[in-house]
Structure 1
Amino acid sequence: MTLANAFRGIWHHEPMKEKLVDAFRELNAYYPFGEGWKAVRSTIYFDYIKRQDEENFQPLPEALAMLANELEPRDLVPTIMTYVLSSGDYWALDADFHKDHDNYGDAEKRLQARALQLGENFAASGHELDDLGSKLFSRDWMPYRAAFGRGLARGAHDVHAGWRKLVAHMVQQTGDKSNFIVFGGFIEETNAVDIVLAQELLDQCAQQPELRNVLVLLHPQGIFTEADLSRCETLLDDPATYLGTFGPILWRDDYAHLPVHRLLALAQRLLTKPNGDDVVLDALDMRLHNKDDAVDTLGAELRLVGLRAAIQRLRKNDTYRGGRGDHAMDTVVGAALRFAGNEAEKLEWLDTIFDVIDESYGYVHAFEKVIQTTVALLPKVFLDRVFEGTEKQRNRRLMFMSHGGMDSPPLAEVDIQVLIDWCGARSNSSVWPFVAAAIRVWSSEEDLAEVTLSESAVRLLEASTNPEAVLDAYAERVSPSSWAGSMASAMQPRAAAIAVLVTHKNAAISAAAKSISEKIANRIERERLREQEEDERREQRFE
């Protein structure tokens, strides 16, 4: 395999060509070298056939053409190992692809048909499945095993006997056994001629330890019935069942004909299982993929299930899924909050967010997107909650607003006029600086050389009844979160953006800008002195 992968690169070294040909011939004489044949075919395509119209085109060397002919597998088992049970560029094996190159769709159809025919030929031959080894169930990417399984069923003189042999072969294999799609192909072909027998085979899969885990995937596509769903649901009580296989039932078109109440019952049951909330969120995320946000794709009942799944997921307050988990929650919760209904669950969702904020002492390092979406869709309710509760809770929530560990400020996606109206309706002027600490202050977070106050920051400042406190909140953000070189120099453009306000027509803002600018200038000067002292200590250590 290593030599096959390196073939194309080595082939271009003229002194190595003859040795390379000899090595491939020797390996092929010892055992059919299918991987080598694929490597030769790929080289012929990329370096000769595909370059026929180029000026520096070189004709196909006779030695390479002869090698391809010699390595081509001709016996049944080696051919199956090459076309069905190996990885790599399968399209290179399609002879017609070389004639009509770049037509991958037609090549794919021909290779699927070839795998089906090989399965049929194998079933009718005197070979045993042991001749194919364990690769029939390997986790490696081998896309034609389903077609091969269809061929095994089509070519079987006795389908029952063929099925028993396939199961027995799977059971006796050791090591990696994680892909059982060959069984799905076998069942699909059986179903085409004998639906009752196919159902019998699926019932047997439900009793087979290895196959029950992937039972959903083994059903023929497009004809999944309520009886099939019931068969699969019996496995949900088995802790070993992989719940991920149930997710597609909630979103793929293949299952869209199932009654909504059955889909809802499945989703609700998944929520009772460990990590079932992840399965539901991922499934509903896929159901919403590329859909118009203005259209209620889920409907009230699935939106309710989505909210419950998100509440469960957030209560775990763990980060092991990273960005993918946040994305799914963001999509589903966004859909749930945009439409009326499920008001109690919406409030419970907000309660859960604030429980996490309180428990995390105001620092939330995950689920940033879904929290920002929630704030953007329910800004007034969210802000009301920030200033409710005990003094300890308020302090932690205000800490979250200003220093909560999120990459973007919590209120960054909220319309600034909504925030201005909310602050203006409060009797407590201290709300202005807290809101100021949670919006996007700078016009650019990346280009430190050209920085101005954002339009939102200016509008909030001009509407504020407490401009000095608002500017003070902006000043807290003068230090960038990332920079290169001197921190003092990185702070300077932001300081200048605030200093511009000294000439503002509003006397209160002008006076506040002057006062805050002096404080910032002192901070920058102290930072420069610290940097100088650090440089001097570094030079002394070097000496």
Structure 2
Amino acid sequence: MFNDIDDDSLVSLLKRISTKDDGITVAINILSLLIHGKEKEEISKKIALLGQELIVSVTSSIFFKRDQRLDYEISEILKYCFVDEIDQKNALLVAQNIFSALVNSDLYTRDLDDTLGTLASTYPLIFLDTFFGESKKADDYIALSFTMNNLNSSLHPISLIENSIILQWCNSDPEVRQLTLASAITPYQFIEDEISWTPLAMDLIENSIDPIAILEKLKRKFRPIFWGGSRATEMEQYIPLLLQLQNNVNYIITDWASKEKQKFQSEILAERKFENEYEKNANERFE
């Protein structure tokens, strides 16, 4: 239907639609359908600028609320309508609007899997600067938000950024950025059901000016906030990570890992004891 309309008429039509009630949502859906399956080179600058205008508007409006489910459509427009360096200004506005929405709890990272992934892969430095480098007040909240809602390291937006880019970004302010990133990443991965540190986590540990501070941040992931079944069993799966560090060439790291393993195993035993007593008391109440 819209494929036969010239670019000027299409831009004018979608702009008029966007001014109506729920119009931005409708305009984004139409534009997403039109660019689907096309190459970036096939999309005119006029259409690309329209896409940018719509996305910048939607992230600061009620139409980017969770009930609108625009994540995929917005990510598609980000992929195909943000092309050159000039477009970085609008990409930055999008990232800043999302950041503000996250801090204000208008949105949660789980609502934005596709959009955040596209931002991270397309504009990695804008992504890192906005969510992990600018607002020290919001660092802890944002880091926790990314960790809780992206538990699988392969789905984490940061996993879409090359490690070399991340480490170079960290090195410009290592004391702050390394710790912030350590709080946000998922530091482990499962390969054929075996747990191991991610390459990024190991880079942070081994290249940090304070590896113990990094490890203290990372070990928080060993103690699940949400779990199904036995929390003690969940915790046990992380012991191999500590064993792997005991073979590190840096004695500071190996010493920390050895002591932490003993402490962690004691925590697991205490957790197991609590679970057994709770289950015993629960069974007695029903007898």
Partner SS, residue 187 of structure 2: coil
Counterparts in 2 of 1:461 and 1:344: CA distance versus 1, 3 Å: same
Looking at structure 1, the residues matched to 182 and 121 of structure 2 have their Cα atoms a distance apart, in angstroms, of 16
Match of 1:370 among 115, 123, 142: 115
**CA displacement at 1:288 relative to structure 2:** 3.0
Structure 2 partner of 1:286: 33
Residues 7 and 46 in structure 2, CA contact (< 8 A), matched pair in contact too: no
Partner SS, residue 238 of structure 2: helix
Q: TM-score, normalised by structure 1?
A: 0.47
**CA displacement at 1:300 relative to structure 2:** 2.6
Residues 178 and 208 in structure 2, CA contact (< 8 A), matched pair in contact too: yes
**CA displacement at 1:504 relative to structure 2:** 0.7
Looking at structure 2, the residues matched to 278 and 361 of structure 1 have their Cα atoms a distance apart, in angstroms, of 17
Q: CA RMSD in A?
A: 2.7
Match of 2:207 among 463, 481, 501: 463
| More relative contact order, 1 or 2 (CA 8 Å, 6+ apart) | 2
Looking at structure 2, the residues matched to 424 and 271 of structure 1 have their Cα atoms a distance apart, in angstroms, of 43
**CA displacement at 1:374 relative to structure 2:** 0.9
Give the alignment of 1:400-411 within 5 angstroms: 400-403=145-148, 405-406=149-150, 408-411=155-158
Match of 2:126 among 372, 381, 387: 381
4+ residue stretches of structure 1 with deviation over 6 A? none
Structure 2 partner of 1:536: 280
Residues 488 and 525 in structure 1, CA contact (< 8 A), matched pair in contact too: yes
Structure 1 partner of 2:168: 421
Looking at structure 2, the residues matched to 265 and 489 of structure 1 have their Cα atoms a distance apart, in angstroms, of 59
Q: TM-score, normalised by structure 2?
A: 0.84
Which structure would you say has the larger Rg? 1
Looking at structure 2, the residues matched to 331 and 395 of structure 1 have their Cα atoms a distance apart, in angstroms, of 29
Residues 156 and 186 in structure 2, CA contact (< 8 A), matched pair in contact too: yes
Q: Would you tell me which structure has more helix in proportion to its own residues?
A: 2
Looking at structure 2, the residues matched to 521 and 269 of structure 1 have their Cα atoms a distance apart, in angstroms, of 63
Residues 270 and 280 in structure 1, CA contact (< 8 A), matched pair in contact too: yes
Q: Does 1:516 align with 2:260?
A: yes
Deviations 1:70-119 (A, max 9, x none): xxxxxxxxxxxxxxxxxxxxxxxxxxxxxxxxxxxxxxxxxxxxxxxxxx
Structure 1 partner of 2:43: 298
Structure 2 partner of 1:260: 7
- What are structure 2's unaligned runs of at least 5 residues? none
Amino acid aligned to 1:438: A
Partner SS, residue 444 of structure 1: strand
Match of 1:494 among 238, 244, 259: 238
**CA displacement at 1:424 relative to structure 2:** 1.4
Deviations 1:327-365 (A, max 9, x none): 111111122344333343222212211211221189444
Residues 471 and 516 in structure 1, CA contact (< 8 A), matched pair in contact too: no
Deviations 1:249-280 (A, max 9, x none): 2xx4xx1xx32111111122222122222222
Give the alignment of 1:226-241 within 5 angstroms: none
- What are structure 1's unaligned runs of at least 5 residues? 1-247
Structure 2 partner of 1:507: 251
Structure 2 partner of 1:314: 59
**CA displacement at 1:387 relative to structure 2:** 3.2
Deviations 1:110-159 (A, max 9, x none): xxxxxxxxxxxxxxxxxxxxxxxxxxxxxxxxxxxxxxxxxxxxxxxxxx
**CA displacement at 1:514 relative to structure 2:** 2.6
